[in-house]
Amino acid sequence: MGEGAFWHPQRRSCCWVDIQESELFEYRLGSVGAVTSTHSAVSRWRIPGNVSLIAEAADDHLILGVSGGLLRFNLVTGEHTQVVSFEPELPTNRCNDGGCDPLGRVWVGTMDRGCKDGAGSLYRVDTDGTVTRMLTKLSIPNGMAWSPDHKRMFFIDTPTQQVRAYLFDKDSGQIELERTVITVPSDWGMPDGMAMDAEGMLWIALYNGACVTRWDPATGELLDRIGLPALHVTNCAFIGDGLDSLLVTSASEGMSPEQLAAYPGSGDIFIISGMPVMGLPVNKARI
């Protein structure tokens, strides 16, 4: 279950996770623009709990979303400490996707490991560690991104097949539902992870759709589609010094032998070079 696609600009590295195996990976790029297929540049760590969200923190640290809360993880030493905990009363829940807002607050969704309908929530963790539940009755909270002007937050709860726009108050961290901006037809796959590009368009990974897609949130129009040899495409992130490549994660969980034969790249990690548009830098966690 590949997830958590992430670019660490200071370390010039790509990170991702395997949720089910509770593993974190880091792939450090070589010289500028160099991307190779060697596995020697990949580091991996076992993380306590099902790890999902990755966010950059200070001094070679990451903030990780795991079962029951957030961890601070040191990429140099491999040490980790608990930052905040939530939902102790829901032992079958775990964190899923999320992101950091422009002021460094961490937003993370939770869900039931068995995908029980309405069992999840969306939390905001402020820079002082205060935890606020922002949305409830979610099922599989996934992709999240902020508009270039920071006035809107875009959010996916996968089973709805929708991307919703929330008016975002940067100072207070409050959100207000504005409207549904994108509806993905069910036979195209399910919207999963999401990234914002420099033109304000949304790149969405389609689980069960074998592709990443580009959408205009103003019109809901599909603008581009990049097919992949993986059926369950889970997340994407712009990477590289120019943010002009796309890191894409995928999953092989629950696939039949016939599906695996038809989509032999399922569960692989992809780098798509020479993207037609650059990405936006993601925000850094300040908790």
Predicted pLDDT of residue 40: 57
What SS3 state is found at 19?
Answer: coil
Mark whether 192 is an active-site residue: yes
Cα(31)–Cα(29) distance, integer angstroms: 7
For residue 258, what is the enclosing H or E element?
helix 257-262
Helices (H), the chain: 257-262
> What is the number of H-type helices and E-type strands within the chain?
1, 23
Say if residues 136 and 117 touch (Cβ distance below 8 Å): no
Q: Mind listing the pLDDT tens digit for each residue in 53-90?
A: 999 999 899 999 999 899 999 999 999 999 999 999 99
**pLDDT score of 32:** 42
What local confidence, expressed as pLDDT, does residue 33 receive?
46
> By C-alpha distance, which of 155, 153, 215, 143 is closest to 184?
215
* Residue range 36-57, pLDDT digits in tens: 545 558 999 999 989 999 999 9
Catalytic residue among 18, 192, 197, 244: 192
Beta strand segments in 57-151, E: 61-66, 69-74, 80-85, 93-100, 106-112, 120-125, 131-138, 141-146
Q: What pairs with residue 215 in β-bridges?
A: 202, 222
Question: Which residues of the chain are under the pLDDT cut of 70?
Answer: 30-40
What is the model's pTM?
0.94
| Two structure tokens written together for 213 | 């897609």
Asked if 109 and 96 count as a contact pair (C-beta separation under 8 A), the reply is: yes
In order of their start, the domains of the chain are 2-272 (2.120.10.30)
